[in-house]
Chain A
Amino acid sequence: MKRLAPLLAAGLLGAAVYGFLRWRRPGAPPAPASAFPVFEDRAPAAGVDFLHRNFPTPEKYLIETMGGGAALLDADGDGDLDLYLVQGAPPPQDPSPRPPNRLFRNEGGLRFRDVSGESGAAGSGYGQGCAAGDADGDGDPDLFLANDGPDLFLRNLGGRFEDRTGSSGLGDRGWSTSATFLDADLDGDLDLYVARYVKVEYATHPRCLRAGRRGYCHPDTFEGLEDLFYRNEGDGTFVERGREGGVALAGPTEGKGLGVVAGDFDEDGLPDLFVANDSTPNHLYRGRGDWTYEDVALVAGVAYSAAGRAQAGMGTDAADFDGDGRLDLVVTNLNQETNTMSRNLGGGTFEDVTETSGLAAVSLPWVGFGAGFFDADDDGALDLLFVNGHVVDNVEEVDTGQTYRQPAFLMRNRGKGTFEDVSARAGPVFGKRRVGRGAAFGDLDDDGFVDVVLTSVGERVEILRNGGVPGRHWVSFRLVGARSARDGLGADLRVTAGGRTLRRCSKSGYSYLCASDPRVHVGLGDATRVDRLEVRWPSGRIDRLEGLAADRGYVLLEGREGPVP
C-alpha cells in the first residue's frame, strides 16, 4: 500500500485502466505493407543543443572513444519523456572544467527546455552510461550514472535530483559502462546490474601503436573488470553481491562488458541477464531465483559467433523479433565480424540467424554500438536500428576501407524474422556519418510512433523524429506495480490484436550506455483495438484485460483488472 500512496494522491486508482489521450489520424486508410516512416533530426528545433565532448588527447586514453549515453525518462512526472544526456570529462592533466551532464525537460510539441541547472543532475567523472528506474518506489524514476571513476546515484525528488551516492552504496570506482535496473530477486524493488569494462588508470595508461601510429589500445591490452550486481535492500541502500551471484568474472579473457539487457529468456518467471562483452565471450546469466546465476551462454549458443569466436560485443537488445513468443537477441560487434542475431529456439538454446535474417552483409563493414528492436512503422513486427562509428579516430590513415564516422542503419522486419535494409528510404539521417555510440528509443512527442535519440563521440546529439505511417495503429502501456517493482520493469505483455499475439516486455536498460522509454509501445498494424491483453507481472501475478481501443496510452495498475473505460 505504501507504494500506491502517491497514486491514490494523484487520483489514479479510481480507474483500473486509465486512458490518456494520444495523437490519432481518424479515418486514415490502411497503409500498404511496405510503407515505412521517414526520420528527421529535430534536435536543434527541439532546443536540444547538447554537444558531447570526449576530450581527445595525444595520449589516446581508451575512454575517449567510448562515447556517452542518454536516458529517456519522465523525470518530472508530467507524463512525457524528458531527456538526460551524459558528458565526458577532461583527463587529470587538463585543468578545464568538466562540462555537466544535462537534463532537458519535455515541454510538449517536441520542444525541450534545459533544466540542468535546477535539476541537480550535473554528474561527475567521465560519464559513460545511465540507467533509469524507480529504485526507491516513490513514483518517479531515479538515475544511476555509470562512470569511469565513481558511479553516481541520483534520487529523484519530484523532478529534482539529489546525489545519494554515498548513502546508497552505489559509488564504486572503476570503469562502468551500461547498466540496467531489474527486480532480480522479485522482492518488489529494483536491483541494479552494472556492466564494467577494463582495468586501467590514467596514470598508468599504456601507449599503443596501430600500424606504427599511436592509437587506442585493443581491449586485449587490459584485464577485464568484474561486473557489479547490487541488491536493493529496500531502505535506500544497495549491497554489491556480484561474487555471491556468480557474475563477478574478470581477467584477461573475461568480462569487458559494454552492453546489458535483462529478460526472461527461458520463461521460468525469473529474470535472466545477457551481457555483451568486448573481445571475450558474452554471458547469458540464467537466474535461479535465489540471487545466484549460472552462465549458460556457451551451451545456449550466444557466447560466441557461429564460427566459435569471441566477438567485440558492444550493444545489445532482447525482444521477440520473429513473433514466436520468445526473447531473441541482437549484439553489435566490430567490423568484419557482423552484428549477431540469435533466435531463441526454447529449451535453453539459440540459433545464430545473422545470415538468414539479412543482417550479416549489411553489418559486416561497420563497427556497431547502440542497437534496439522497435516497431518503427507500427506494423506489429519489431524492426532493428543500429548505429556505427569506428573506435580508432585515425582509422582512415591505417585502414583505407574504413572511416571513423559511419552511417546508422534501419532494418525493416518483413514479418518472418527476416529484415531488409530500409535506411535509404528512412531519411537522410541514415546516410549521415557520425561516430555513433548510443541509441535510446521512446515516443518523445507521444504521437504513437517511436522516436530515437542518437549520441555520438564528440558530436551533437540527434533526435530522430519518427514521421509515422498514416493508417497504422498502436497502443502504449505505462505500468505501475503494486507487489512488483513500482515501475513494472520486467513485466511481460501478450497483446492479441488483428488475429495475432505479440509479446512485448517492459524494459529500459538495453542498447549501449542508454536507458529507453520504459513504457511498452505496441504497433498494431491495421487493427483498431486490442482484443486481449495479458500482463505477467514480475510478482507472478497475471492480469487480463479485453477490448482496448487503439491509438492511445494506458496506465496499467497491477492487480486491477477491469473493463476499459
Chain B
Amino acid sequence: MRGFLLAAAILGPPPSSPQDDAAAIAAGRASLDRNDPAEALRHFSSVLARKPEEPGALQGVARSLLLLGRFEEALVPLDRYARAVPDHAGVRTMRGYVHHRIGKAREAEADLRRAIELQPESAGAYAVLAQVLRGTSRTDESVGLLRKGIERCPRDAEIRQELGESLALLGRDREAEPEFREALALDPGRVEARFRLGTVLERGPRPGEAIAEWERVVREKPSHRGAWYRLARAYAAAGRAEEGRAALARFREISTLEERQEALRNRLKAYPGDLAARFELAEALLSLGEPAAAIGWLIDLPDDPATRGRTLALFGRAELALRHFESAAAILARAKALAPEDLSVRLDLARSHLGARRLGPAAEEVREVLARSPGNAGALALETEIGALPATRGSGR
C-alpha cells in the first residue's frame, strides 16, 4: 500500500475528486473507463485514506495498479478484499491475473479455477488460465478450456484471441486464423490479435494479407515493435525495398528505446532503490508514448527534497501527455518553483496552460523561456501557436 499512498501524498486527489466516497469511486471507475489508471488511483486512494477497507476502493486501487504494471503492489488490496469477501469471482480473476504476472502459477491457477467455478461466465478467468496452462506445458489443455469458455461466453473477444494463440503455438494455423478473425470481429481494436493474425497469414503463405494486417497494427499502435519488424521483412520479400528500409528504421528506433526500457526494468528488479534508473525508465516510457506506464514507475518514489523537482517534472509531463492539462499545470508549477531555470519544465507548463486554453499564462511562460534562450525552437513554435489562437479562457479536460 506504500506506493499508491505515497503517490497520493505527492499529488493529492485530483482537483475534481468528490468528497463523497461513492462519488469518488464512481469518478475512479470513470477514469479507468477512460484508460487513465493514474487518475483513477488518486480517486480511489482518496477514499482509502478515509475508509481503509472500502471494498470498491480496494478493488479500484488494485485495478489501477494492475494497469500501471505494479503487480506486486496490486496483490495487497486484492488480498485484503479477498479476506473480506473470499468468493468474489471478479476479485479472484484479478488476483489470478496478478499471480500469473508475478510468476505464482500455482496460486494463479487456484484463483482462476475458483473464479470459473463461482461464475462460469468469467471470460477473463478462462483467458488468463489459458496463459497459465501454456506456460506450464499444458497448451493442449488450454485449447479445451478455451473452447469451453467460448460456449459460456460466445461474444468474448479475449477468449477467441487466446484460443488463436494456443492453436498458433501448436502450429495449427488453419484453426487459429478463424479465431483471430472472430476476436477482431468482436473487438477490432485488439492489436495483438491482428498482429498474430498477420503471422498466421504470412505462413499461409498469404504475405499480401499479412502486410495489410500489420500495416493496420502500426496505424493503430505506432510503437508496435513486432509489426514493424515483420513489415520490414515482408516488404523486403515483396520487393518493396524502400518501404522495407523505412520499416526497419522505425523498428530499430523503437527497439533501441524498448531494449533500454527492458534493461532498466530488469535493473530495477535487482535494484529497486536505483532512482537514476527509475527516472530514466520513466523518461523512456514517455518517449515511447506510454505516460500511464511512466507514472507507474514514479508513484512510489519517496518524497525526497533532492529528487522532488525531477519527480514533479516527469509527473507533469506524463499528465500533459495524458491531456490532463489542469493537473499537469498544477504539478509543473510546483516543479518550476523548485527549478526555475529548467526551461523544459517551463515549456511543458506553457503547453499545459495552452491545453487548458489559458493563453495569457502560456504566453508568459514562453516569454520567460525566450528571455533566457532567445532562439529556443520549442518556445518559438509555441509562441506561433499561441498567436494563432483567439484569446479565450477555459479549463482543459
Contact = CB atoms under 8 A, between A and B. Distances in A.
Interface centre among A217, A220, A357, A362, by most chain B C-beta atoms within 10 angstroms, is A220
Given A209-B272, A306-B199, A402-B103, A365 B136 contact: yes
Nearest to A399: B103
A400 interface: yes
A19 interface: no
Given A308-B225, A308-B226, A349-B233, A398 B103 contact: yes
Interface stretch (B20-28, B29-37, B104-112, B315-323): B104-112
Secondary structure class of chain B's binding surface, majority of residues: helix
Contact of A355 (B104, B137, B170): B170
A7 interface: no
Interface stretch (B54-62, B263-271, B306-314, B339-347): B263-271
B236 interface: yes
Interface residues of A, number: 41
B248 interface: yes
Nearest to B192: A307
Contacts of B102: 211
Given A209-B271, A309-B226, A364-B134, A253 B260 contact: yes
Contacts, number: 114
Contact of A217 (B259, B262, B270): B270
A221 B199 contact: no
A211 B268 CA distance: 11
B171 interface: yes
Interface stretch (A297-305, A466-474, A477-485): A297-305
A252 B266 CA distance: 12
B225 A309 contact: yes
Contacts of A402: 103, 105
B266 A399 contact: no
Interface string B215-241: 000000000011011100100110000
B164 to A, nearest CB: 12
B50 interface: no
B226 A357 contact: no
A361 interface: yes
Given A301-B233, A360-B169, A361-B134, A400 B269 contact: no
A349 B237 contact: yes
Contact of A361 (B169, B259, B266): B169
A310 interface: yes
Nearest to B105: A401
Q: Interface size for chain B: under 10, 10 to 19, 20 to 34, or 35 or more residues? A: 35 or more
Contacts of B233: 301, 349
B171 A400 contact: no
Contact of A304 (B104, B132, B229): B229
A239 interface: no
A209 B269 contact: yes
A308 B262 contact: no
A355 B139 CA distance: 12
A171 interface: no
A208 B229 contact: no
Interface in B68-118: 72, 102-108
B139 A364 contact: yes
A346 interface: no
Given A400-B105, A401-B105, A220 B266 contact: yes
Contacts of B260: 252-253
Contacts of A358: 170-171
Interface in B331-365: none
Contacts of A210: 269-270
A219 B140 CA distance: 33
Given A208-B271, A220-B262, A355 B171 contact: yes
A430 B342 CA distance: 62
B372 interface: no
Interface in A199-226: 206, 208-211, 215, 217-218, 220-221
A237 interface: no
B200 to A, nearest CB: 9
B259 to A, nearest CB: 5
A218 B266 contact: yes
A336 B132 CA distance: 11
Interface string B173-202: 100000000000000000000010001000
Contacts of A307: 195, 225-226, 229
Contacts of B229: 304, 307-308
State the majority secondary structure of interface residues on A.
loop
Interface string B117-140: 000000000000000101111011
- Which of A209, A349, A355 has the most chain B CB within a 10 Å cutoff? A355
A307 B229 CA distance: 7
Contact of B135 (A253, A299, A365): A365
A167 interface: no
Given A252-B263, A400-B104, A400-B106, A361 B139 contact: yes
Given A307-B226, A400-B103, A401-B136, A357 B171 contact: yes
Contacts of B266: 218, 220-221
B251 interface: yes
A215 to B, nearest CB: 8
Interface in A368-418: 398-402, 418
B104 A356 contact: no
Nearest to B195: A307
A275 B107 CA distance: 38
A361 B140 CA distance: 9
A356 B251 CA distance: 25
Nearest to A253: B259
Nearest to A310: B259
A217 B263 CA distance: 12
B203 interface: yes
Nearest to A357: B171
Given A306-B199, A355-B170, A221 B270 contact: yes
Contacts of A304: 229, 255
A483 to B, nearest CB: 38
Contacts of A338: 169
A455 B50 CA distance: 59
Given A304-B229, A307-B226, A400-B103, A218 B171 contact: no
A358 B172 CA distance: 10
A355 B171 CA distance: 5
A279 to B, nearest CB: 8
Contacts of A336: 135
Contact of B171 (A211, A217, A360, A398): A360
Interface string B242-261: 00000010010001100110
A501 to B, nearest CB: 25
Nearest to B263: A220
Contacts of B228: 308
Contacts of A355: 168-171, 173, 203
B132 A418 contact: no
A401 B262 CA distance: 22
B171 A418 contact: yes
Contacts of B272: 209
B255 to A, nearest CB: 7
B267 A220 contact: yes
B96 to A, nearest CB: 13
A221 B72 CA distance: 21
Contacts of A306: 199, 226, 230
Interface string B143-168: 00000000000000000000000001
Contacts of B168: 355
Given A253-B256, A358-B171, A362-B137, 18 more contacts: A208-B269, A208-B270, A218-B270, A306-B230, A307-B226, A308-B229, A308-B255, A309-B225, A355-B173, A355-B203, A364-B134, A365-B137, A399-B104, A400-B104, A400-B105, A401-B106, A401-B132, A401-B135
13 contacts: A208-B271, A209-B270, A211-B103, A220-B262, A221-B270, A308-B255, A335-B135, A349-B236, A356-B173, A358-B170, A361-B139, A362-B137, A365-B137
> Which 9 residue pairs of A and B lie closest in terms of their CB atoms, listed nearest first?
A401-B105, A308-B229, A399-B103, A208-B270, A220-B266, A307-B226, A361-B139, A220-B263, A400-B106
